[in-house]
Structure 1
């Protein structure tokens, strides 16, 4: 049986590739604020209410890019439906 050996740089490259393929992109609250174009109070209100799914690690919030995209698409659907209703 052949033993596999990796040096540190090969291991790091393999780990980075694994992360990119398998783990979600995670944003900070500040990054999500920039993407959404909202202020700090609005962002934390969305997080605390659960309207923007996120996890709290220690004192910091982390938002998956997938959750942020879903929230944006849901909001757009609601706006389109409201516009259609009002027309």
Structure 2
């Protein structure tokens, strides 16, 4: 489930990056200022999803993984 959630977050991040590429084309037109709020929202959404991925990987999964490895090492050492 964790992998699926991380994979989905990465998928959303890629979609937002594709939108950013399309926005670069729109910015060339004179009406681009009308979309400034949408551009800002897209950037905030991209930043949010990137920070969420960082939090999940570095602050949640990595410490739990290290704790699991340490516990497995203790169990392995006690059986020898």
| TM-score normalised by length of structure 1 | 0.36
Identify the structure with bigger relative contact order (alpha carbons < 8 Å, sequence gap 6+).
2
Q: Kindly indicate which of the two structures has a greater share of residues assigned to helix.
A: 2
Bigger Rg, which one: 2
| TM-score normalised by length of structure 2 | 0.38
